[in-house]
């Protein structure tokens, strides 16, 4: 019985080895048949990985340069080289920095020269320009503040009833509702 069992085990091992060799031959045929497409695919994957990593490195390098330029501008706002470096490496951050300095200077022409990189920035620049001209216009982001400013200008002109109508448009849950209530009390004779 031991001999028969030993033969069975040898046959099973040989059949499993045979199956393994058969799979290896199939794999070898597959590789020979699709050698060029497989090499092309591997090359594309390698190029994509290298490109992705290179792009990440370049973006991180630009961000680091823009951040150091911004820090330099905070220390010395007249640094032209840092301003150019910020503009080249991060145009959106440059636009925000330009907006910030223009609002702080309260100069109409400097606000007009700020690059309008986004819908938000365009809206707040137009808002600040209208405030400087003392003609508050509608704003998406400063809607309630515009109502208060318009009401204040009407109060200064003596049109208290018109101001009251505008102040009632400010929602009660707005952050500037308290200011609106104060102005409403100011309109009482």
Q: What is the pLDDT of residue 46?
A: 95
Cβ-Cβ contacts under 8 Å for 116 (sequence gap 6 or more): 95, 122, 125
Residue 18 lies in a domain: no
**Interval 152-160 mean pLDDT:** 82
Q: What is the pLDDT of residues 14-50, one digit of tens each?
A: 677 677 777 878 888 888 888 898 899 999 999 999 9
Q: Note whether residue 175 is domain-resident.
A: yes
Within a domain: residue 188?
Answer: yes
Structural domain harbouring 162: 142-189
pLDDT in tens, 127-154: 888 877 777 777 778 888 888 888 888 8
- Confidence class of residue 110 from pLDDT cuts 50, 70 and 90? confident
Q: Write down the pLDDT at residue 58.
A: 93
pLDDT for 189 beyond 60: no
Instruction: Please report whether residue 161 resides in a domain.
Output: yes
Please give the average per-residue pLDDT across 81-86, as a whole number: 88
> Would you say residue 189 lies in a domain?
yes
- 13 pLDDT higher than 80: no
Percent of the chain with pLDDT over 70: 92
66 inside domain: no
Upper half-sphere CA count for residue 81 (Cβ side, 13 Å)? 3
Determine the pLDDT at residue 51: 94
- 46 lies in some domain: no
Highest mean pLDDT among 10-14, 80-84, 139-143: 80-84
Q: What is the mean pLDDT of residues 156-181?
A: 82
Query: Would 29 be classed as within a structural domain?
Result: no
Total structural domains within the chain: 1
């Amino acid at each position: 019985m031991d001999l028969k069992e030993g033969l069975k085990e040898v046959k099973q091992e040989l059949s499993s080895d045979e199956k393994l060799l058969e799979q290896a031959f199939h794999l070898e045929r597959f590789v020979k048949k699709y050698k060029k497409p497989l090499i092309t695919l591997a090359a594309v994957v390698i190029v994509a990985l290298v490109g992705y990593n290179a792009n990440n490195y370049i973006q991180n390098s630009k961000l680091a340069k823009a951040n150091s330029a911004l820090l330099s501008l905070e220390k010395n706002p007249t640094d032209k080289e840092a301003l150019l470096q910020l503009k080249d490496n991060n145009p959106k951050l440059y636009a925000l920095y330009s907006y910030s300095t223009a609002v702080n200077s309260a100069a109409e022409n400097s606000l007009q020269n700020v690059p309008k990189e986004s819908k938000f920035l365009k809206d707040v620049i137009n808002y600040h320009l209208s405030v400087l001209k003392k003609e508050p216009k509608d704003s998406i982001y400063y809607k309630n503040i515009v109502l208060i400013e318009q009401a204040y200008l009407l109060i200064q002109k003596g049109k208290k009833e018109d101001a009251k109508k505008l102040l009632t448009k400010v929602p009660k849950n707005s952050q500037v509702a308290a200011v609106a209530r104060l102005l409403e009390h100011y309109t009482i004779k």
